[in-house]
């Protein structure tokens, strides 16, 4: 046997020393994420770092002059700031940056046998904005900052077009199977004013991994296109709203007391958007009554030309043997009284769209003198059977969809697209003086997906 050289002996010695140090360090510095890995979870969407994540813009009650933003960091970052400037063609904006202090709150969550997640959530309002201007912003603190994002403030002129995306339930397999829908929607119309989510964004209200997957699926879109969302039943657990809802979103607080950031209104040029908290309507007589009185008051003093209401539970279901009679009996008279233009809903995991006569529940208004248009849609992969109820002019099952609505002057144009970008449904509403809206169907010739 050949003698071992001194050089080889030295290499072997170094190997054992390094291995011993690594083993000792691993045993004495067990990283909390190691447990998460053993649970086969995506650590990146669960645990925060010193750098901002889950960055999202939300519409304020007055989006022509302000914009809300939220983000998350780990517990080493106890403060948050927003840096804001008018956008420029180059980096000149860096010379005119305004700093806004954020409000910060601590949240600790734990889901079943998964590790605890501790984070600081930061929220701020970018105010005193100039209508029609393009802004850049970033969020963070000290040496830990996000990239710079851009957003445009709407012009406060009544005839300027307003376009927004509407999504039904995402809920399940959000990162793997909802992501393509929100990204296809953004690709279809990247200049939309905002996105609207009709509840059940995730499946389990307090499961932080699922919230992380929702933010991952939308990624930078959330940080550049503002959102509004209404809670669904899956945002609730044992009668309580998700602990993440209010810390991670920054929604208006102009609704009934006790329903802040879940029941509210947004005034966007000629369009009023109203979110109703359907779960509290279903579960609480007090909050159901409060929302009904509030809605009637808001609509009584509504100078906007167009009104869209969103809530999770549908007035008219697409699912066989499901019917929300109490919701309809309490709220439909208010909607009929004030001639609400459109109601955007989720929950039933299928697609249905139609106009319902005020005199006959469930009967489709076949003439084109339109009343309120009701829509139920789904954007995630979970699907239910679709019924043959007569209220639907167009329906679909086993189809992931997103919807694009554009309001300009006296016209509202509605388009529903499948996850592959195929136009599936379309109609136009036209305002007429002292008459109901005129509905013009523009349904493509493709067969219904039943």
Q: Which of 76-85, 303-312, 363-372, 400-409 has the lowest mean pLDDT?
A: 363-372
- Residue for token digits 């649970």? 39
| Domains, the chain, with CATH or none | 44-152 (2.60.40.380), 162-441 (3.60.21.10)
Structure tokens at 186: 């953004």
CA 195 to chain centre: 7
Which whole number is the average pLDDT over 238-244?
97
Interval 390-439: pLDDT, tens:
999 999 999 999 999 999 999 999 999 999 999 999 999 999 988 999 99
Helix 285-300 with 325-337: angle, nearest 10 deg: 20
Interval 263-281: pLDDT, tens:
999 999 899 999 999 999 9
Buried b (16+ CB within 10 A) or exposed e, 97-134: eeebebebeebebebeebbebebbbbbbbbeebeeeee
Q: With 90 as the cut, is the pLDDT of residue 208 above it?
A: yes
Q: What is the pTM of this model?
A: 0.89
Measured between alpha carbons, how far is 306 from 335 in angstroms, rounded to an integer? 13
CA 447 to chain centre: 30
Question: pLDDT at position 247, please?
Answer: 98
Q: With 70 as the cut, is the pLDDT of residue 221 above it?
A: yes
User: Is residue 118 classed as helix, strand or coil in its secondary structure?
Assistant: strand
Residue 38: band (very low, low, confident or very high) from pLDDT cuts 50, 70, 90? very low
E strands, 38-160, are 53-59, 67-73, 81-86, 98-101, 103-109, 117-126, 134-141, 144-145, 149-152
- Tell me which H or E stretch contains 332: helix 325-337
Question: pLDDT at position 40, please?
Answer: 52
- Return the number of other C-beta atoms located less than 10 Å from residue 144's C-beta: 16
Question: pLDDT at position 28, please?
Answer: 35
Average pLDDT score, the chain: 90
């Amino acid at each position: 046997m050949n003698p071992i050289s001194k050089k080889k002996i030295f290499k072997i010695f170094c190997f054992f020393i390094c291995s011993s140090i690594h083993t000792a360090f691993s045993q004495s510095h067990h990283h909390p994420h190691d447990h998460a890995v053993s649970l086969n979870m995506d650590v990146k969407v669960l645990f925060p770092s010193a750098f901002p994540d889950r960055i999202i813009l939300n519409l304020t009650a007055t989006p022509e002059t302000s914009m809300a933003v939220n983000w998350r960091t780990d517990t080493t970052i106890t403060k948050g700031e927003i840096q804001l400037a008018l956008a420029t063609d180059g980096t000149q904006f860096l010379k005119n940056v305004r700093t806004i202090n954020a409000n910060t709150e601590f949240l600790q969550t734990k889901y079943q046998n998964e590790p605890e997640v501790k984070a600081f959530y930061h929220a701020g309002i970018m105010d005193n904005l100039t209508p029609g201007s393009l802004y850049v912003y970033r969020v963070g603190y000290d040496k830990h900052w996000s990239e710079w994002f851009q957003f445009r403030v709407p012009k406060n002129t009544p005839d300027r077009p307003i376009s927004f995306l509407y999504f039904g339930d995402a809920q399940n397999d959000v990162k793997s199977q909802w992501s393509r829908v929100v990204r296809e929607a953004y690709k279809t119309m990247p200049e939309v004013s905002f996105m609207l989510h009709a509840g059940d964004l995730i499946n389990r209200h307090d499961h932080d991994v699922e919230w992380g997957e929702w933010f991952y699926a939308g990624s930078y879109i959330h940080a550049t296109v503002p959102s509004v969302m209404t809670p669904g039943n899956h945002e609730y657990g044992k009668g309580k709203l998700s602990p993440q809802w209010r810390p991670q979103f920054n929604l208006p607080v102009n609704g009934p007391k006790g329903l802040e950031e879940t029941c509210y209104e947004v005034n966007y040029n000629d369009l009023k958007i109203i979110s109703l908290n359907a779960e509290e309507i279903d579960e609480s007589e007090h909050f159901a009554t409060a929302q009904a009185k509030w809605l009637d008051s808001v609509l009584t003093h509504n100078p906007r030309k167009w009104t869209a209401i969103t809530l999770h539970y549908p007035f008219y279901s697409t699912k066989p043997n499901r019917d929300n009679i109490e919701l309809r009996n309490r709220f439909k008279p208010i909607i009929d009284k004030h001639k609400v233009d459109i109601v955007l809903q989720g929950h039933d995991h299928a697609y249905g769209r139609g106009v319902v006569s005020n005199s006959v529940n469930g009967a489709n208004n076949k003439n084109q003198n339109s009343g309120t248009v009701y829509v139920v849609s789904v954007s995630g992969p979970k699907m239910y059977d679709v019924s043959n109820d007569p209220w639907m002019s167009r329906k679909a099952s086993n189809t992931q969809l997103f919807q694009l609505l554009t309001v300009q002057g006296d016209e509202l144009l509605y388009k529903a697209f499948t996850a592959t970008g195929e136009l599936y449904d379309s109609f136009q509403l036209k305002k007429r003086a002292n008459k109901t809206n005129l509905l013009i169907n523009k349904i493509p010739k493709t067969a219904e997906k039943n």
